[in-house]
Structure 1
Amino acid sequence: DSTEYAVIEVNPRVSRSSALASKATGYPIARVAAQIAIGRRLAEIPNVVTGTTVAAFEPALDYVVVKLPRFPFDKFPSADRTLGSQMKATGEVMAIDRTFGSALNKALRGLEQAGVGPLAEDPTWRPAFDYLAAVYAGDRDADEPIRWIDETGEACESTRHAQRSAAPIVLRSFVAPSDSRLWRILGLLRRGVPEATIREATGIGAWFLAEMGRNVALEARVAALGDRLGDAADAEAMTLLATAKRAGFGDRELAGLAGIEPGAVRDARTAVGLRPGYAMVDTCAAEFAAETPYFYATYAAAGSAPEAPAVARPAALVIGSGPVRIGQGIEFDYCAVQAADTLRRSGWQAVMINSNPETVSTDFDASSRLYFEPLDPESVRSVLDAETAPGEGTLPAMVQFGGQTPLNLAASLAAAGVPLLGADLEAIDQAEERTRFAALLDRLGIPQPEGGVAHSVEEALTLAERIGYPVIVRPSFVIGGLAIDFCYSPADLVRQLAAATVVDPDRPVRIDRYLEGVEVDVDAVSDGVDVLIPGLLEHVERAGVHSGDSVGVFPPQWVSEGDRELVVATMERIVLALGARGLVNAQFIVREDGVYLIEVNPRASRTVPFLSKVTGVPMVELAVRIALGATLRELGWSGGLLPPPPLVAVKAPAFSTAKLRGVDPSVGPGMQSTGEVIGIHEDPRVALAKALLGAALVPPRPGIEGGLALLTIADRDKAELPRLARALLAAGYRLAATPGTAEALAAAGFASRLVAKAGAPEGSPGEGIFALIASGEVGLVVNTPTPQSGAVRDAADIRLAATAEGILCLTAIETAVAAAEALDPAIADRLADVRSLAEWRALEAAVPA
């Protein structure tokens, strides 16, 4: 609302928004910049979108793009959710339509997060909603009595004028910048709080609030219409339905407003021929003919002739992975891109649907045709309809390669008659549904941790009491360890089941006794007869740390040959018993008393890119070709475990928890990392050190005066304490320790500086632990949690204090030992050994003694 502006900063490079701008306009910024770098001028660079013009132009748009950030607070509910200059989002979703309101609704549908759809409201906001609506809605000049229920459940009464001073303070606090601000504003608009009032409290432009208000008004009209919305013969209802669809509302949201089933909305609009049209992103607002196969859905084009005919057959739809979030990141985009590429090289057309502008899969040349749409059943089915010409069978869909998102769509797509290419719904359900999976293992005689399946909180408490605490809780159909955690008491279990959100007969939870041991990740490719296993990935940390947060070593260095053979044999049995074809991932725990199978996922896993690169096995390509009808033997591969290449490759996680205040960096069964790195060498020690250095999991090398490592170690980890101390001392660190750890160090012959425990009474021996952390003297904190229930789970405050000071804090003893040994001067010179990936794989096996 002002003509004034200021330049904040200029960066002479591509930025995070460059990808968004490229996808939003169709103008390939990085491609053009690369050609400028080698001497070309804009007027000499062809516009690959139109194929006829050059890059010396400003893109013209006849649509609106909305980008929404995807925050990780579903994984970190205790984190500070206030937004400011520090970035906290892990990903983003983009939506395209003809108006801001419709694009906003599509983006909200695309976030793929519980409680974030266009109509989402947190029940805890109800008291604030009621109070603010009582004060601001209606005639503000009338000093009427107002009533509301506060946060404690107490009935309150006042007058509108009496609250004139307090209400603005409450409103500003309620709509302060946070991850939920947009939904709070929409909720206020629904309750009649004026747009001008919200504008004054937030500074958001009047035009944006007016567009949101228009959507909210449309919601009210749909709700008032009720079940008439499902009557295709009701002309008034169908007119309103068309208006609502042009505003970007999904069938599910409209059904919720009208009090009917989503299928009834779809049936009604299908009966009257109300289907989305698909417009092309062409950079020139249709001024020139475009060659870009890049489309978005809009009901503004409903009934119009399609801008392009359905793709030529054979063809398949590849469903992407949606916005990057913890547990489902770019590893799955790699798989989707590889799948599309293999289809095209096999003579098929690859149609891609995704909503994430940060990915390669949404490059317009990464597939035969790209659709930028939310990954919900409605949008996917609409694309399939658009790409199915009259007289043709429904285009098949591939659900294996985008992580849990497409897998969760499999049932609804299959029910609609969509062929699932290379996937079997029965295999998916048997592996993902905990009751059936446990029964299958029992029939096959495959060991699994003692446990069972609960369909209610009462069943869960009874089961946990029988098998004994600690237990680990695993909901069905999740990824990234979402709502998976240890429980040490009945109170822990009740709290964790509440976090799982849904515990019912359709979505039971698996409750297992926690087993310590070495965890092994296995990825396989099967054609239903042979099972090819490119390699085994051994975790450095003991079982219980999520595979995405663990340091993984390929090939295994500590698991015996006999146990490896048992893992391979069990993997082959379970894959063939499931009838899974294509990619399958499984996790095992190896213990002295045997090998236990934890879970199986009939889809691409986050370790597929890692194993594909270090082994040279094109896992996604093989899976796609199997889906098209080939066998492993026809493709030149046999079953079983392949011999490892002459290298050691280490996967190390990269964390972003330092950006999120209030997040405990302690690793466990719930995934926290946002990325990973690979370290490769012929010497396992060097490979491990390279990976940890790349992931910033190695403490700084001490200066001349030496650094200080603060150690507070749980009793169960103290057997590894001497090894950790030796490595730290050899690297030049001095040791500081809390009383129990200092005593263990002294018993092993190591001196340390005594530090009082967190919460120790005043006058206790040793200096204060938080003062020491804040002093700037500490370079490393190793704090391994005690496995027990408690308010801070054994000094979470220590870990939070270290993170706040920017100090590396390690919470798994195995990772701490590896990080300390990465500072070994004996391997320092070898960390710079550089070869191409092909050269590493071609090395003769020769590991120094």
Structure 2
Amino acid sequence: YIAAKLALGYKLPELINGVTGITTAHFEPSLDYIVVKVPRWDFDKFPGAEPVIGTEMRSIGEVMAIGRCFEEALQKALRMLDIGADGLVANAWDREPKPVDELRRELEVPRPYRVFAIAGALKAGVPADEIAELTGIDTWYIYKIANIVEMERRLRSLKRLDDSTAELIREAKRLGFSDRQIARCLGISDDKVRAYRKRLGITPAVKIIDTLAAEWPSKTKYLYVTYGGSSHDVEPSSKSIVVLGAGVFRIGVSVEFDWSVVQLTWALKRMNAGEVIVVNYNPETVSTDWDIADRLYFEELTLERVLDIYEFEKPEGVVACVGGQIANNLAPLLERRGVRLLGPSGLAVETAEDRRKFSALLDSLGIPQPPWAELEKWEEVVEFCRKVGYPVIVRPSFVLSGTAMRVVRSERELFEYLSEVSKKPRLRSLVVSKFVEKAREVEVDCVSDGEHVLIGAVIEHLEPVGVHSGDATMVIPSFSLSEEVLDKIRRYTLDICRALGARGPANIQFLVKDGEAYVIECNLRASRSMPFVSKVKGVNLMEHVARAILGGKLELPSAVYEPPADRWGVKTPQFSWSRLRGAHPLLGVEMRSTGEVAAVGRSLYDALLKSWLAAQPNRLPEPGSSVLLVSGGGDHQQDLIAELARELGELGYKVLVLEPIPGDGRLLAEAEKAVAEGKVSMVVALGDDYRLRRACADYMVPLVLDGELARHLVQAIRLVANGMELSVEPL
């Protein structure tokens, strides 16, 4: 809080340095470590976006790595990005070297993760000075990268690991090589490399982040792990719990998971569960602030590093269920290596995540699910689609935020999709599910102690099925489901949690059609919507998670219980179309929003309008201004457009209805021009009209991409016109 105190009039010599607790804040830092911060980009989520970086920020998140040399910190940072990299070199995708001319072209244009092209060029024999000339990057960095490339060459030349190779492996670890990179160079398993290191005493040191280079004793709780030290700066905690954080922000993972980590940390401390140790590496988060945890490891969330910390600290257990998918994926791996998990077991996580096992569980419970199959051969995929009928949802197995997921409506579209995904590395199988059209999508955020379930909320999506949950408008409580269906959803939730032996947070997603609820998936971890649910309902779900993972029982009036909602809550996605030049603004099963906003209100429309207006660039159209409605064809859409046009006309707006004629782009061109000239105050676009949608993004015109959302917004605007005031009340 130095800046705040300076603003109040204090002088630097009057303030105590929080790192030492003895000296003043009037000093020049002297560091014995190096920090590397790398942005995370997700251009592949946005069709049409130009994957070029420049003076305008386009990254989604960032990571921060700490080491004793640049090489170590750089390789740690690249692992932290969660893009499938095990470091700078020796990655799974390093099979076929690229032609030198192609590498030179990659070096000339500043694109995301160009550092991998630099390493590739060095391997191909391109001189460091030429790389510096092509990239504009100082040669100091190029030579540091060359050190990593040279170490990879030396590792690949080894025939085996024995006592004679100890110093080389020690130097490789000092340069930031992971066990997996070393294992890949030698063609052996990660576990064999780890066992070899431990036998020869090649283990990392735990260091304090010291801004005084040991000139004064450092009292900070910030720690990092490095192979650039010979001794530990701290002693292990006497009694502790390790909480794994969420890592890098990216599409699908943002501050919502950090909220869960922080709230759980505070809850555990209130329950006197011992020292709480957080492992995270995201400098944007609250969990990496000074005063949140008893200890913070600013470190990788990899199996190797979590095991290093676990073996040093010897905690009571590790919590992997609140940090999102990175932490959740580690749970089964940690459990198999003897780590005690607090929360759902690794076996339970694996059962929920493995589509075959979870489907068998649902069948044994008599819970309906859409027809599906996990298939490896393309001909099997085609045969299954013909059997269940189109449309279907196709995706690679084990995905987050809908990566490479698509709704396929014909065999031609299926072959196009198969052609695209066949180019992706590490693709083993595809999951194909029947797409249930005209269904409602619903999800449940809950906490279980294995026998009882506290349902935070049954959340209904305003948009119909087919829009990713991260891009959907979420509503609490349900606005269209019958009490019979809601009871069925609650009962299914209880049955699933009991069958899995779930202990901690869970999120279960449903489809509802014709009075039946179908289960789509279950995640035994905190979800994106848990902060929203907790704030709308006034029930901090992480308090109950803390009790459950420590072995306590949930005190509920019945086996499954949902507290009533005394107000409405609506969560609206925030998109960044204007930041991503060329990106196609569209909704689908793959998530594309970069944030979210929420509001509570006395009614659905009160909360909806406040929430929608909080997202940029949304604003109410001025009375008498023009609203453009664009149909995508089909009787249902035409009826909806006619209904919207009539109601907006009654409210005094000038309504322009556009039904594009195939092969004739004149009408769309005129509409695009009107948007550019500021003659349109809002656009409802239900067709595939890229240029018009792009114009709305470029000129910051409110753009509505779903018919159901448009219908509800028009109703909200009507209520405001008739005198409804937007409520302002204390939470």
Give the CA deviation at 1:502.
Answer: 7.0
The equivalent position to 1:241 in structure 2, one of 169, 176, 180, is 169
2:443 match: secondary structure: strand
Does 2:679 match 1:777?
A: yes
Work out whether residues 545 and 669 of structure 1, in 8 Å CA contact, stay in contact via their aligned partners in 2.
Answer: yes
Q: Which residue of 1 aligns with 2:286?
A: 360
Give the CA deviation at 1:550.
Answer: 0.6
Give the CA deviation at 1:693.
Answer: 0.3
Does 2:664 match 1:760?
A: yes
Alpha-carbon spacing, 1:671–1:248, altered in 2? closer, same or farther (3 Å): same
The equivalent position to 1:429 in structure 2, one of 350, 358, 372, is 350
Q: Which residue of 2 aligns with 1:182?
A: 115
Work out whether residues 446 and 507 of structure 2, in 8 Å CA contact, stay in contact via their aligned partners in 1.
Answer: yes
Match of 1:62, as an amino acid?
D
Deviations 1:427-450 (Å, cap 9, x if unpaired)? Answer: 211111111111221222211113
Q: Which residue of 1 aligns with 2:573?
A: 653
The equivalent position to 1:377 in structure 2, one of 296, 303, 315, is 303
The equivalent position to 2:533 in structure 1, one of 606, 611, 629, is 611
Q: Which residue of 2 aligns with 1:191?
A: 124
1:480-559 aligned within 5 A: 480-496=401-417, 498-499=420-421, 501=424, 509-559=431-481
Match of 2:11, as an amino acid?
R
TM-score (norm 2): 0.94
Alpha-carbon spacing, 1:97–1:758, altered in 2? closer, same or farther (3 Å): farther
Alpha-carbon spacing, 1:829–1:369, altered in 2? closer, same or farther (3 Å): farther
The equivalent position to 2:548 in structure 1, one of 597, 622, 626, is 626
The equivalent position to 1:63 in structure 2, one of 4, 10, 33, is 33
Q: Which residue of 2 aligns with 1:576?
A: 498
Alpha-carbon spacing, 1:287–1:819, altered in 2? closer, same or farther (3 Å): farther
1:141-180 aligned within 5 A: 171=104, 174-180=107-113
1:687 match: secondary structure: helix
Which range moved further: 398-407 or 287-296? 287-296
How many Å separate the matches in 2 of 1:376 and 1:123?
Answer: 19
Q: Which residue of 2 aligns with 1:806?
A: 700
How many Å separate the matches in 2 of 1:674 and 1:256?
Answer: 35
Work out whether residues 451 and 510 of structure 1, in 8 Å CA contact, stay in contact via their aligned partners in 2.
Answer: yes
Alpha-carbon spacing, 1:503–1:122, altered in 2? closer, same or farther (3 Å): closer
Give the CA deviation at 1:354.
Answer: 0.9
Match of 1:760, as an amino acid?
D
Alpha-carbon spacing, 1:833–1:469, altered in 2? closer, same or farther (3 Å): same
Does 2:295 match 1:326?
A: no
Does 2:360 match 1:439?
A: yes
Alpha-carbon spacing, 1:765–1:250, altered in 2? closer, same or farther (3 Å): closer
Work out whether residues 221 and 295 of structure 2, in 8 Å CA contact, stay in contact via their aligned partners in 1.
Answer: yes
Deviations 1:122-144 (Å, cap 9, x if unpaired)? Answer: 979978x4244xxxxxxxxxxxx
The equivalent position to 1:591 in structure 2, one of 513, 525, 530, is 513
Give the CA deviation at 1:121.
Answer: 7.6
How many Å separate the matches in 2 of 1:319 and 1:294?
Answer: 15
Work out whether residues 232 and 271 of structure 1, in 8 Å CA contact, stay in contact via their aligned partners in 2.
Answer: no
Q: Which residue of 1 aligns with 2:236?
A: 310
1:569 match: secondary structure: helix
Work out whether residues 455 and 563 of structure 2, in 8 Å CA contact, stay in contact via their aligned partners in 1.
Answer: no
The equivalent position to 1:711 in structure 2, one of 605, 630, 635, is 630
2:600 match: secondary structure: strand
Alpha-carbon spacing, 1:122–1:477, altered in 2? closer, same or farther (3 Å): closer
Match of 2:221, as an amino acid?
P
How many Å separate the matches in 1 of 2:398 and 2:99?
Answer: 36
Work out whether residues 552 and 651 of structure 1, in 8 Å CA contact, stay in contact via their aligned partners in 2.
Answer: yes
2:681 match: secondary structure: strand
Which range moved further: 87-96 or 524-533? 524-533
The equivalent position to 1:224 in structure 2, one of 145, 149, 157, is 157
Q: Which residue of 2 aligns with 1:51?
A: 21
Give the CA deviation at 1:819.
Answer: 3.5
Alpha-carbon spacing, 1:645–1:499, altered in 2? closer, same or farther (3 Å): same
1:361 match: secondary structure: coil
Deviations 1:642-683 (Å, cap 9, x if unpaired)? Answer: 342321111111111221123222111111111111111112
Q: Which residue of 2 aligns with 1:85?
A: 55
Alpha-carbon spacing, 1:362–1:766, altered in 2? closer, same or farther (3 Å): closer
How many Å separate the matches in 2 of 1:491 and 1:122?
Answer: 31
Q: Which residue of 2 aligns with 1:21?
A: none
Deviations 1:388-417 (Å, cap 9, x if unpaired)? Answer: 2xxxxx652111001110111112211211
Work out whether residues 392 and 432 of structure 2, in 8 Å CA contact, stay in contact via their aligned partners in 1.
Answer: no
Does 2:485 match 1:563?
A: yes
How many Å separate the matches in 1 of 2:719 and 2:399?
Answer: 43
Match of 2:138, as an amino acid?
G
1:477 match: secondary structure: coil
Does 2:399 match 1:463?
A: no
Match of 1:415, as an amino acid?
R
1:717-756 aligned within 5 A: 717-729=637-649, 732-739=652-659, 756=660
Give the CA deviation at 1:540.
Answer: 0.6
Q: Which residue of 1 aligns with 2:206?
A: 278
Q: Which residue of 2 aligns with 1:9?
A: none
The equivalent position to 1:345 in structure 2, one of 270, 273, 279, is 270
Give the CA deviation at 1:828.
Answer: 9.0
Match of 2:137, as an amino acid?
I
Match of 2:65, as an amino acid?
A
Q: Which residue of 2 aligns with 1:130?
A: 99
Does 2:394 match 1:473?
A: yes
Deviations 1:351-397 (Å, cap 9, x if unpaired)? Answer: 11111111011113211111111111111111111212xxxxx6521
Match of 1:180, as an amino acid?
Y
| TM-align CA RMSD | 2.6
How many Å separate the matches in 2 of 1:46 and 1:70?
Answer: 36
Give the CA deviation at 1:73.
Answer: 2.3
Match of 2:506, as an amino acid?
V
* Count of aligned residue pairs for this structure pair: 727
Work out whether residues 288 and 296 of structure 2, in 8 Å CA contact, stay in contact via their aligned partners in 1.
Answer: yes
Match of 2:590, as an amino acid?
G
Alpha-carbon spacing, 1:181–1:199, altered in 2? closer, same or farther (3 Å): same
Work out whether residues 175 and 184 of structure 1, in 8 Å CA contact, stay in contact via their aligned partners in 2.
Answer: no
How many Å separate the matches in 1 of 2:220 and 2:117?
Answer: 39
Work out whether residues 332 and 345 of structure 2, in 8 Å CA contact, stay in contact via their aligned partners in 1.
Answer: no
Match of 2:485, as an amino acid?
D
Work out whether residues 709 and 733 of structure 1, in 8 Å CA contact, stay in contact via their aligned partners in 2.
Answer: no
The equivalent position to 1:290 in structure 2, one of 215, 218, 226, is 218
How many Å separate the matches in 2 of 1:173 and 1:729?
Answer: 53
Match of 1:429, as an amino acid?
E
TM-score (norm 1): 0.81
How many Å separate the matches in 2 of 1:519 and 1:44?
Answer: 58
How many Å separate the matches in 2 of 1:765 and 1:644?
Answer: 50
Structure 1 stretches of 5 or more lacking a match?
1-30, 133-149, 151-169, 389-393, 740-755, 786-793, 838-849
Match of 1:311, as an amino acid?
S
How many Å separate the matches in 2 of 1:459 and 1:395?
Answer: 47
Q: Which residue of 2 aligns with 1:250?
A: 178
Work out whether residues 353 and 370 of structure 1, in 8 Å CA contact, stay in contact via their aligned partners in 2.
Answer: yes
1:300 match: secondary structure: coil
Deviations 1:769-801 (Å, cap 9, x if unpaired)? Answer: 44444443233222224xxxxxxxx33344234
Deviations 1:37-67 (Å, cap 9, x if unpaired)? Answer: 3333333333222222232233221111000
